[in-house]
Amino acid sequence: MTRSGTAPVTDNKSLSGKVALITGGSRGIGAAVARRFAAAGSPVAIGYQARSDAALSLAAEITAAGGQCLAVQGDITDADAAQRIAADTVARFGRIDILVNCAGVAPYRPLGAMDAAYVRAILDANVLGTVLVTQAVLAHLTAPGGRIINFASAMAFRPVPTSSIYAASKAAVVTLTHAWSKELGPRGITVNAIAPGVIETEMTAAILTERRPGIVASTPLGRIGQADDIAGIALFLSSAEAGWVTGRTIVADGGVT
């Protein structure tokens, strides 16, 4: 899809027949990844927790453009739900070749204003959810040849004030990625992560309203990142061309880090 949300005209079928499960796939970066993968020939399952309207709308859009898409609901922080998300994907498409762990949350609070519930909610969504879904998918993942792509954040490398717990959760994802690549390498499964900077999505609307000129000024490429910028990296990491890349986190923030 293009940045305006319309289907691109493309002959690129680099993921033809490769089944992808994308958590957090109903909007933002996850939706851009789903569109890009579908355009490349991948049947996609988009995982969502609450926004059924967005998920079903995206599934219908991809199907209308000639792709295959399944919307699967579930809370990734619940082990049973994670297992069901994986099982529903396999029931529809027969297997899973690519897992994209894109679901997460990003609330900021300053030190002194955090309570246990706040900390747990971030760690559960960003770390526990990544672990539970990956474990649920592992039994179904193509080996050799499987791909796991986790979503970290540039904040893992350059945290800003009030971002400490979010940044720490994404630093954990970087470490999980590196460690899992060692475990799964002998099975021919690659594990990589993408660490975006500020990307223009619904989640970043407030911060961009407040700080857009400053963010643009501090970015060497001189603009705000778009969801499709990140989807292109996910497409590469899922492709045959990335078969010798594993355990790496790609920082994609326009040169800020």
What pLDDT digit, counting tens, does each position of 80-112 carry? 999 999 999 999 999 999 999 999 999 999 999
Inter-residue contact 121 to 51 (CB < 8 Å): no
What's the confidence (pLDDT) of residue 41? Answer: 97
The answer, as to whether pTM is greater than 0.85, is yes
Distance (Å, whole) CA 26 – CA 201: 12
CATH of the domain at 62: 3.40.50.720
Instruction: Please state the rounded mean pLDDT for residues 34-62.
Output: 96
Query: Domain for residue 95, yes or no?
Result: yes
pLDDT at residue 137 above 80?
yes
Q: Which domain holds residue 238?
A: 20-251
Query: Domain for residue 236, yes or no?
Result: yes
Residue bearing the bigger pLDDT, 74 or 206: 74
Query: Domain for residue 52, yes or no?
Result: yes
- CA-nearest of 203, 205, 230, 194 to 33 is 230
pLDDT at residue 130 above 80?
yes
Query: Domain for residue 32, yes or no?
Result: yes
pLDDT at residue 5 above 90?
no
Catalytic residue among 48, 108, 118, 166: 166
- CA-nearest of 57, 64, 13 to 36 is 13
Query: Domain for residue 11, yes or no?
Result: no
Query: Domain for residue 15, yes or no?
Result: no
Domain count, the chain: 1
What pLDDT digit, counting tens, does each position of 14-29 carry? 899 999 999 999 999 9
First to last CA, the chain: 28
Instruction: Please state the rounded mean pLDDT for residues 170-174.
Output: 98
Annotated active-site residue 166? The verdict is yes
Query: Domain for residue 198, yes or no?
Result: yes
Query: Domain for residue 6, yes or no?
Result: no
